[in-house]
Every structure is written in structure tokens, then in C-alpha cells.
Amino acid sequence: MPKSSVLWIVLGASLLVWLAGCTPPMPSIQPTPQATAAPLPEAGVLAIVDARARPAPLPGGTSAIYFTVLNGLDQPVQLVSAASPAARAVETHETVAEEGVMKMIPLPDGYPVPAGTTLVLQPGGKHIMLVDLVEPLAPGDTIELTVTFDNGQVFELNVPVLDPQLNRPVDAEGREALGGPQDQPVIHDHESMQGETAPHEHAQMHGDNTALSSELAAALEALPVGAIHQLDEALAQGSDWDADAARTTVDDLIARLDAFSWPEDLLPSIAAIRTHAVDLHDAIEAGDPARVGELAAALHHLLHALAP
């Protein structure tokens, strides 16, 4: 073999060795970690797991309880009611999005749980609503809750109140539900509030430890709490009231609720306020003063619980 050919073979082999040393190794493909799925129902057993409640800063306000129902029975069941001494009313609700607006729908018949399936109550979906709380709820508190099913089974639960950043349920497919630390309204003494008090006068006095962002504070301040208060007072005292002005106030409230992206932790309260506002608007349109008075009082109460 000619020397030139041998030289080219040697040079080619050296080049291949050099390239091999310079080429980065192929990255190893690691399997994607699988999310922990919600527990499966145990055959023949109806169970409730992962119960927790969200904090509420004011007495008379609202809160929500979430949990997972595991129906291992061979027949469907219906969660028909819930009760708790922590609130003056306990209702079964669902939060739904309609045209980009979060609305809370009462489900007085409760929730069906087909045989062998799991029902997840979670923020932004089905939940147990605590209305008109007897005392504020803070992380570390415990709520007594009684849950009844149509097959006669009754569960007595001690539900922990969790900090919002820990209140992240896992849905039925094992995905972590959205949510996290949220701004909380602070507690204020508004017992001496008079009928002429404007909403911003309630929102100006925040404690040193307030977590309210400036945007949330401004959105709360903009709610027409004072006008709703005056309407409630007039109706309760049997005074004259202006239906057109009341309708305008309610429409303004609904528009302001829809214009702001509320924190996840406040969505149940916002949905309840919006539902009452829409019902109040309809009652005003129908000319039903008794219903108007009832709804104005409830709406007034809910607004002060949210934006004292």
C-alpha cells in the first residue's frame, strides 16, 4: 500500500477519535414523575377523606369546606345535607364559570356520587358553604361538620382550617388544583357604622399586618357598600326608597364584581354576593318589596363581611 494511503488512513482514524471526544454525550431521558392520584374507593365502604376549610376573617362572614367522597358501595349515593355549629346556615354549592364570570349556584339536593366513583369538593367547584359564621375562622381552628347521605350514613367530621397556601387539593385525576397564598381582608370594628358611612371609610383603616394588595384594596373600596347599606336601612325602617336608584346601585355592584380578577380564596364570597345582587335586581324589577328587603339585608351583610 502506498505510504500516502497509509497516511490518510491514520489521519482519518485520528480525526474520528478527536470528534468522538468533542461530541457531548446524548442526554439520558428521565421518566416524568407521576402525580399522586386521589385515593380509590375501597370496595364496600363509603368514606370521606381530605377534609379542610378555608379561613374567614370576620364573624358573620362566609367560608367553604372541601373534601373527597369515596363511594366503594355497589350503589349510587347522594350527599343530601351538611350541618355545623360554626355557621348559622350550611349549604351545598357549586362555583361555575359562565362567559368568564364566576357564579355560585346553590344545589339544595346535594351531590350524587355514582357507585365505585370519587367526588371531589374543591375550590372553584363543588363545596360546602358556611354562611353567617358564628366566629372568625383562623388557620389551626377546627370545625365540627355533620354530613348526611341518602342511604342513612352520617359522618361526624372535625375539619381543620388550613392556611390558604396549604389548601391545595388534588383533583380526581391527580392534578394539583390551582390556588395559593391569597390576600385576606383584615378585621375592622364597624359596629358603630352609620347609614351615611361610605364604603371607603371602612377600607381606609388597615392594620399593620394587612396582606391586602393595593389593587385588591382599591377593588374592595370601589364596591358600593354604603349605598347598599342605605337601601337596607330604608327598607328595614319602612322609609321611602328609590327603585331606579336602587337598580342603578345593584347594576354598578355587579359590574364592579365582574371587572376585577378576584383571588381564588375570595371567589366563594364574590360568587355569593353576585348571586344575591342579581336576585335583588330581579326583585326590584318585579316590584316585590318584601323580597327586595330580604335580599338587600342579606347582600348588605355579605358585603360588610367581605369589605368591612
298: CATH: 1.20.120
Which residue range(s) make up the domain with 275? 199-306
- Confirm whether 212 is domain-assigned: yes
- Confirm whether 126 is domain-assigned: yes
For residue 14, is pLDDT > 60?
no
Confidence of residue 220 (pLDDT cuts 50, 70, 90): confident
pTM above the 0.85 mark? no
Q: Where are the alpha helices (DSSP H) in the chain?
A: 3-22, 199-203, 214-222, 225-236, 243-259, 267-286, 289-306
For residue 251, is pLDDT > 60?
yes
Cβ-based neighbour number of residue 5 at 10 Å: 9
Looking at 166, 185, 214, which one is the last position of a domain? 166
Confidence of residue 262 (pLDDT cuts 50, 70, 90): confident
Q: Are residues 283 and 208 in the same domain?
A: yes
Looking at 166, 185, 217, which one is the last position of a domain? 166
Q: Are residues 295 and 212 in the same domain?
A: yes
- Confirm whether 22 is domain-assigned: no
The rounded distance, in Å, linking the Cα atoms of 183 and 46 is 36
Q: Are residues 159 and 238 in the same domain?
A: no
Q: What's the confidence (pLDDT) of residue 101?
A: 62
- Confirm whether 298 is domain-assigned: yes
Cβ proximity of 32 and 114 under 8 Å: no
Exposure of 208 in the CB half-sphere (CA atoms within 13 A): 0
Q: What's the confidence (pLDDT) of residue 100?
A: 63
- Confirm whether 186 is domain-assigned: no
DSSP states along 236-281: HTT----HHHHHHHHHHHHHHHHHS---GGGHHHHHHHHHHHHHHH
The rounded distance, in Å, linking the Cα atoms of 187 and 213 is 15
The larger pLDDT score, comparing residue 285 to residue 173, is at 285
The larger pLDDT score, comparing residue 195 to residue 238, is at 238
Looking at 109, 142, 166, which one is the last position of a domain? 166
Q: Are residues 220 and 154 in the same domain?
A: no
Q: Are residues 54 and 156 in the same domain?
A: yes
Domains held by the chain: number: 2
Q: Are residues 144 and 67 in the same domain?
A: yes
pLDDT in tens, 47-64: 999 999 988 876 677 888
Q: What's the confidence (pLDDT) of residue 289?
A: 86
159: CATH: 2.60.40.1890
Residue 179 Cα to chain centre, angstroms:
9
Q: Are residues 115 and 53 in the same domain?
A: yes
Cβ proximity of 69 and 47 under 8 Å: yes
Q: Are residues 245 and 292 in the same domain?
A: yes
